[in-house]
Structure 1
Amino acid sequence: MATINFYLDKSDKKGLAPIHLRINCSGTQIKLATGQKIDPELFDKKRQRVKGITIEATETNHYLNFLNERADELLHHSNKKTFSQDEIKDILNQHIDGYRENHTVNIVKEQISLYGKPFTFIDLFAGAGGFSEGFLQAEVNNKFFDFIAASDINENCELTHIVRYNHQLGLNAEFLKQDITEPDFLDNLLQKIGNKKIDVVCGGPPCQSFSLAGKRKKFDKKDDLFSHYLEVIKILQPKYFVMENVKGILTKENGKIKDLIIQEINSIVDNKEIPVLVSFIRKMKSDKNSFLLESIIKRVEIEKLRDAEIEIGREEFIRFVDNRFKQLTPKIADYKTSKTDSRINTIRHGFNILARTKEWEKLKRDIIKEKDFCNIDSDAFVETFTTFLTHIGSESVIEQIEFAFKGLKVPSNYIKDCSDIITALKIYTNSFDETLDILLNLCSEKEKSELNKILDSIRLYKIEKPLVANASNYGVPQNRERVLFIGCRKDQKFISEIPPTVKENEKVTIFEALYDLDFIGNNQEAHHYELVNISKQYNGTAEKMKSLLKKRTIDGKENSKTGKSFAEWSRGGRLIERYQPKTKPFYVRNFEGLQKGEKYFDILNNHKTSNQNDDVIKRLEIILKNGDYKKAQCEIDDCGLTSNKRNYNVLKPDEQSSTIMTIPDDYVHYNSPRALTVREMARLQSFDDSFVFQGKRSTGGNNRKTEVPQYTLVGNAVPPLLARAIATEILKNIK
């Protein structure tokens, strides 16, 4: 049994003594310099730790504890039982170097343009940072991206961002931890961005209600996030924006959601062109329905308003229509009816509700948050909440107003006036595109031709249809299909596809991605790489397995001369030279640990297996032997190992994985009866090994609503190599 302790060497001229690590084992002694110096009076020889509770003492003691843990793990808990002195020194010195490097750099550095042309981007709904990673990997003809800011609602997303981009890469990219639906989100985002012009906005609103795999809930708080995303686009007006989502969004409600998104993108207008449109409509007013045309003008002019002005503009619109109704009331109802009739009151009070849309939307947002927090779903409460939330929506209020009009006995010569009021209210809730459809119906053929020319210049973004991208076509060892809505500003080149970087027969396999990590078993954690001997591990099939290993370019193309294996790319990193890490990767448990300097500088991070009981391991062995969960069901039942779990995905080493989700137990490793580690799932997503996922490893139950642990960070991320392909295509076209 080896002993591990710390001691002080001789003091230097300043009176500070170096702290050394000493290992004694079977008469052999190994000494290592920790890189720390201390006043000998502050060292407790009995405890072998620094005295006091200062920040410096706490951080140094954490570092010594960390080295003690890693030395103990290496000598007493490693799969490998025999080490040379040089091997022990090499492994422990890598941990020590990580600490030294972190304490000799300026953590935050300005992103100075060292070469080429930088374009700016921000990452919304950033999660772990898959988009950010891919954009920082991209470079075309000395053009590259500067990372300005990211946003998400979860603390662990923020922690992972700060450690990766501010500490490890030394960038000054900001992070905004706030719900995008909150009223002051845009103000706070603009404050983070400062006076910088944003060229590209990327993000994937987590629309769970659109997901094929998730629950479809009405009034889920995530339902309408894409419209808030587009509000950011309207303000920033970037050259390009990318919105990523699950494939199910294409077929949701028979394609209506997809059409709505395209319509909303087409409704983003160039404010400079609005006066031209308004002038055109004013010319039409002389011989057309002036009330409806004035309503359209007011609706169009709302497009150029911002923040608080929008609410004023909306209220003025409703008051304009309300005044029209007040003028009409004496003509369609006598005095007594106008004061007591419930239908007249419904119309009148409906206008009051619509005029206070902002207040009702805030109330609606708060109720949805509370509903979600209380887990109201599939119960006796859900219908009541849904009914109320539906009734306070503008569309429902207008429906009630329309129903009330129909119930009135309106003289025939005023029916059209009533109908125009309803149309005007629908204009209020319409998208810009829907409003233009109404305008087109009021135009003559000659006017339509003139209007269409104006509309060509007023639409700020060009988009024809969403793209479907499979991550495996871009060097990712995973069949993950995602839908991309790419908006191209009218002064930029149109992007209609993201060309694949690999052919069908050269896609990266699971074995290529994971083979060098296959040295741990059940309930184990590794903090450094170990050599994997394929010949010994696979015996009769070793040659077949070795044949799966290919030399490739960064994006997956086979290149036997100068390429690297996928594992080598993962271990060495894919970032362009400008963004090479300034410190060694490290892990912290939480923000408090980051503030106290309680950092874990490991050579390999996030590589820990779950502690699965004997029954689970036996079940997984049967599934692995059969190669499929369904095929294994009978044998599992016969062995008394039946599980309520619906499915296990058995990884096939010579194929790509299915879509990586957030629960590791859904997958069975291709060579061992166990679930995947966070690092293995990250490899299947194409994250570099230097990207460390922070915070808790996993969570369960209701905690999944508020916590985003490592597995969730990985599973929800955009694969960086897919993001890199998108960023590369943008750099090829951006002006």
Structure 2
Amino acid sequence: MRPLKNMATINFYLDRPDKKGFSPIHLRINCNGDQVKLATGQKIKSSDFDKNKQLAIGESYQTREINHYLNFLKERADEILHHSSKKVFEKNEIKNLLNEHIESYKLNNSVNLVKEQITLYGKPITFVDLFAGAGGFSEGFLQVEHNSKYFDFVLANDINENCELTHVVRYNHQLGLDTKFLTQDITEPDFLDNLLEKIDGKSIDVVCGGPPCQSFSLAGKRKKFDKKDDLFFHYLEVIKVLQPKYFVMENVKGILTKEGGKIKDLIINEINSIIDINEIPLLIEFIKNNKTDSNSFIFDCLVKRVELEKLLEKEKDAGREDYVNFIDNRFRKITPKIVDYRTSKTDVNMNTIRHGFKLLSRTKQWDKLKRDIIKEKDYCDIDRDDFVEAFTDFLTEISPDRIISKIESSFKLLKIPASYKSACNDIITALKIYTTSFNESIDILKSYCNVGQKDELGGILEKIRLYKIEKPFVANASNYGVPQNRERVLFIGCRKDQKFISEIPSTVSEDEKVTIFEALYDLDFIGNNQEAHRYDLVDLSKQYNGSANKKKNLLKNRDIDGKVCLKDGKTYAEWSRNGRLVERFQPQTKPFYVKDSNALLKGEKYFDLLNNHKTSNQSKSVIQRLDVILKHGNYKNAQPELNSCGLSSNKRNYNVLKPESQSPTILTIPDDFIHYNRPRALTVREMARLQSFDDTFVFQGKRTTGGEDRKNTVPQYTLVGNAVPPLLARAIGMEILKNLNK
């Protein structure tokens, strides 16, 4: 059969009806006098089928699903006949190709969605994935089993609907889990309440997540009052409430050097400030037992500060207000003794102190205002312009630290009698305790203790600190079977009743690392502006001629985690095609794609054998530019020829992938990379392979976006580029299961 332009026709017809009056729908292809017929597996009454439109009649869910399926088959038949690089087909070849799609659809419509997590033998270890994005952490954790322990995926969270869609399709529909998804900003006041409601009383063993890192990336902009900067601390608020056995925070290497290392130290300090609320009475008793007349007020404040730690999130605002009012009452009592009546009513310094207390007591309201302003500032791209300074100044002025600083300056400007200076200094100290972490409050407490008291306090702190962590460490994804040199910082908090984890051992040695060629060679059958929905044969001997043997030598049989395994292993490509998830996720549907949440509700699913493998439609000049760069091996060496040919670009850099090594860090823009064998950018599927996502993991929604849409949508390329590599997550999950005491 030769599918020449306008020669092949594709239509549907009804066969003889059965006893109930339903006629099977058949697909028919006519070309050059030849005919191919295939049963679609669908039946319909003849009165419900429009022969002219070739579609079912009506608006019911079942009708829409049938019509979507028929259109899908017609698209795939047209793609094979008219848009394939192959020009000659045998009848059986076309039948086999289309029957793969038909059988996949039949199979997936016979499987019911599983409503509960499948529990087999062993101990389920519950986990929650915050800032989940595409689901790299989740995917890696679900691949792991150790000594009958495995991960039970309770909930994921992100702010974007396409993240939710990708999760729902993968984990609820495809894998049949009852995992919940919370689509909400972690900074929202009711986030924790909604999280706890969805968890529904379950104890959470592990929390993982990678708070967005754009505002402190080494390669990115550094903004003051960027809404992403304080997400670490909201993440830690979740940890304080859930108190998991382990938690993992992943981020860019730049976090280690931000603000000269102060941000890293601050995070460690905050982690060390998470305490076991059951041990709080022990510390409070110590403070009360060591209270004297000289430190009475400060120690009362320290008690109140420690008691804040045991309050639920919805109770903390009232607790903070009570703390500030306690200090304010102290100030009111000494006011007549430090200034006269007229000064107390009219002096600017007194008014600053008095009004400062009011500002501090309204922390909840100011925090909400700050959060809203930062969101609007971010939405309007306020940065490097004449607006940014005013916004920054205002947000700085309403911060508790600045308010307390002004109160302190005002005290210094007052002519306070010497006998009351100490009392005023205590008020400043009490205010500073209000803004400190638990750890910093303890440092203040220590300053009032003698050697013996400090020793006793040290013993109490050993009992009261909930998590152990010494320092973060850098993990390179290539050490865990990922074909990518992606360095990420890991903070792993270990609850005091669990074994300490200080590193994640590599799963591959330096000479075992997975290469780009291993990851991508079997996908190298598509050119510019093409989309593939099934795998095609890649003949390395024809494609590489004299260098074919060298390329074949790059292919190695491996274990699931990348370690070379000559006897029973699979190639990286085979692992990617078949998937790395364990058998307990049966039954499951085949992978499918939907355009959006509405399409999922309508049943408009695309059950293809290969997903997310589409190249960009690049212009002739762009292809020529990429070809020159590819020939020279890198962008810098290609500049002279690009200039002489009129192909120069304002783009700062292109990375030519080296087949025998690992890729640089995969980001969210595909145009940053040039395929090692063709003058083109990478497809979503190829970038996913470099991240170690299985081909069975389908990225949903739009492939890419631009302009204003970037603020509101997370397309496929962004889902891939921002993800934690699943094989890195797998190694982390394995180390946790090895050490976790249930």
Q: Please, what TM-score do these two structures have when normalized by structure 1?
A: 0.99
Counterpart Cα distance in 1 of 2:113 and 2:294: 66
The equivalent position to 2:542 in structure 1, one of 536, 544, 550, is 536
Counting only pairs closer than 5 Å after superposition, residues 630-645 of structure 1 correspond to structure 2 as 630-645=636-651
Q: C-alpha deviations, 1:663-683, integer Å up to 9, x for none?
A: 000000000000000000000
Matched to 2:443, the amino acid is D
TM superposition shift of 1:24: 2.1
Counterpart Cα distance in 1 of 2:94 and 2:121: 41
Counterpart Cα distance in 1 of 2:710 and 2:654: 21
Partner in structure 1 of residue 714 of structure 2:
708
Partner in structure 2 of residue 566 of structure 1:
572
Counterpart Cα distance in 2 of 1:89 and 1:242: 50
TM superposition shift of 1:101: 2.1
Counterpart Cα distance in 2 of 1:195 and 1:291: 40
Partner in structure 2 of residue 226 of structure 1:
232
TM superposition shift of 1:540: 1.4
Identify the range of structure 1 (80-89 vs 201-210) with the bigger mean alpha-carbon deviation. Answer: 80-89
Identify the range of structure 1 (649-658 vs 367-376) with the bigger mean alpha-carbon deviation. Answer: 367-376
Is the counterpart of residue 519 in structure 1 residue 535 in structure 2? Answer: no
Matched to 2:501, the amino acid is I
Counterpart Cα distance in 2 of 1:88 and 1:648: 40
TM superposition shift of 1:2: 2.0
TM superposition shift of 1:207: 2.6
Counting only pairs closer than 5 Å after superposition, residues 128-139 of structure 1 correspond to structure 2 as 128-139=134-145
Structure 2: gaps spanning 5 or more residues: 1-6
- Classify the secondary structure of the residue corresponding to 1:331: helix
Is the counterpart of residue 400 in structure 1 residue 410 in structure 2? Answer: no
Partner in structure 2 of residue 60 of structure 1:
66
Counterpart Cα distance in 2 of 1:112 and 1:571: 24
Counterpart Cα distance in 1 of 2:97 and 2:235: 46
Partner in structure 2 of residue 297 of structure 1:
303
Is the counterpart of residue 456 in structure 1 residue 462 in structure 2? Answer: yes
TM superposition shift of 1:467: 1.6
Partner in structure 1 of residue 166 of structure 2:
160
Partner in structure 1 of residue 370 of structure 2:
364
Is the counterpart of residue 584 in structure 1 residue 579 in structure 2? Answer: no
The equivalent position to 1:205 in structure 2, one of 203, 207, 211, is 211
- Classify the secondary structure of the residue corresponding to 1:353: helix
The equivalent position to 2:33 in structure 1, one of 27, 32, 40, is 27
- Classify the secondary structure of the residue corresponding to 1:47: coil
Partner in structure 2 of residue 95 of structure 1:
101
Contact 1:136 1:579 in 2 (8 A): no
Partner in structure 1 of residue 44 of structure 2:
38
The equivalent position to 1:628 in structure 2, one of 617, 634, 655, is 634
TM superposition shift of 1:710: 0.2
Counterpart Cα distance in 1 of 2:294 and 2:423: 14
Contact 1:150 1:173 in 2 (8 A): yes
Is the counterpart of residue 188 in structure 1 residue 194 in structure 2? Answer: yes
TM superposition shift of 1:642: 1.3
Counterpart Cα distance in 1 of 2:221 and 2:42: 53
Partner in structure 1 of residue 4 of structure 2:
none
TM superposition shift of 1:28: 2.8
Is the counterpart of residue 214 in structure 1 residue 235 in structure 2? Answer: no
Partner in structure 2 of residue 236 of structure 1:
242
Is the counterpart of residue 697 in structure 1 residue 703 in structure 2? Answer: yes
The equivalent position to 1:326 in structure 2, one of 332, 347, 363, is 332
Query: Structure 1 pair 568/416, CA: closer, same or farther in 2 (3 Å)?
Result: same
The equivalent position to 1:422 in structure 2, one of 424, 428, 432, is 428
- Classify the secondary structure of the residue corresponding to 1:647: coil
Q: Please, what TM-score do these two structures have when normalized by structure 2?
A: 0.98
Contact 2:28 2:36 in 1 (8 A): yes
Contact 1:519 1:530 in 2 (8 A): yes
The equivalent position to 2:735 in structure 1, one of 719, 722, 729, is 729
Is the counterpart of residue 271 in structure 1 residue 273 in structure 2? Answer: no
Counterpart Cα distance in 2 of 1:567 and 1:679: 12
Contact 1:207 1:225 in 2 (8 A): no
Counterpart Cα distance in 2 of 1:328 and 1:658: 64
Q: C-alpha deviations, 1:572-621, integer Å up to 9, x for none?
A: 00001112461111111111111111111111100000011111111101
Identify the range of structure 1 (287-296 vs 330-339) with the bigger mean alpha-carbon deviation. Answer: 287-296
- Classify the secondary structure of the residue corresponding to 2:531: coil
Identify the range of structure 1 (252-261 vs 206-215) with the bigger mean alpha-carbon deviation. Answer: 206-215
Identify the range of structure 1 (412-421 vs 661-670) with the bigger mean alpha-carbon deviation. Answer: 412-421
Q: C-alpha deviations, 1:540-561, integer Å up to 9, x for none?
A: 1111111100000000111111
Counterpart Cα distance in 1 of 2:422 and 2:146: 60
Counterpart Cα distance in 2 of 1:33 and 1:140: 45
Partner in structure 2 of residue 651 of structure 1:
657
Matched to 1:431, the amino acid is S
Partner in structure 2 of residue 74 of structure 1:
80
TM superposition shift of 1:71: 0.5
Number of residue pairs the alignment of both structures matches: 735
Partner in structure 1 of residue 177 of structure 2:
171
Contact 2:118 2:585 in 1 (8 A): no
Counterpart Cα distance in 2 of 1:708 and 1:363: 27
TM superposition shift of 1:514: 0.2
The equivalent position to 2:554 in structure 1, one of 532, 544, 548, is 548
Q: C-alpha deviations, 1:365-423, integer Å up to 9, x for none?
A: 00111111111111111100110011011111101101111111111221111111111
Contact 2:111 2:587 in 1 (8 A): no
Counterpart Cα distance in 2 of 1:667 and 1:559: 30
Contact 1:8 1:40 in 2 (8 A): yes
Matched to 1:15, the amino acid is G
- Classify the secondary structure of the residue corresponding to 1:690: coil
The equivalent position to 2:671 in structure 1, one of 665, 674, 680, is 665
Contact 1:288 1:442 in 2 (8 A): no
Partner in structure 1 of residue 625 of structure 2:
619
TM superposition shift of 1:98: 2.3
- Classify the secondary structure of the residue corresponding to 2:455: helix
Query: Structure 1 pair 580/112, CA: closer, same or farther in 2 (3 Å)?
Result: closer
The equivalent position to 1:308 in structure 2, one of 297, 314, 327, is 314
TM superposition shift of 1:287: 5.3
Is the counterpart of residue 107 in structure 1 residue 124 in structure 2? Answer: no
TM superposition shift of 1:288: 4.5
**Root-mean-square deviation (Å):** 1.0
- Classify the secondary structure of the residue corresponding to 2:708: helix
- Classify the secondary structure of the residue corresponding to 2:550: helix
Counterpart Cα distance in 2 of 1:454 and 1:232: 24
Counterpart Cα distance in 2 of 1:84 and 1:297: 83
Counting only pairs closer than 5 Å after superposition, residues 325-364 of structure 1 correspond to structure 2 as 325-364=331-370
Counterpart Cα distance in 1 of 2:599 and 2:641: 47
Structure 1: gaps spanning 5 or more residues: none
TM superposition shift of 1:111: 1.1
Matched to 1:401, the amino acid is I
Counterpart Cα distance in 2 of 1:604 and 1:84: 22
Counterpart Cα distance in 2 of 1:336 and 1:73: 88
The equivalent position to 1:13 in structure 2, one of 4, 9, 19, is 19
- Classify the secondary structure of the residue corresponding to 2:713: coil
Q: C-alpha deviations, 1:464-502, integer Å up to 9, x for none?
A: 111211000000000000011001111111111100000
- Classify the secondary structure of the residue corresponding to 1:293: helix
Q: C-alpha deviations, 1:606-662, integer Å up to 9, x for none?
A: 000001111111110111011010111111111111111000011000000000000
Contact 2:216 2:255 in 1 (8 A): yes
TM superposition shift of 1:102: 2.3
Counterpart Cα distance in 1 of 2:136 and 2:503: 20
Counterpart Cα distance in 2 of 1:287 and 1:323: 18
Contact 1:682 1:714 in 2 (8 A): yes
The equivalent position to 1:604 in structure 2, one of 604, 610, 615, is 610
Matched to 1:568, the amino acid is E
Contact 2:118 2:584 in 1 (8 A): no
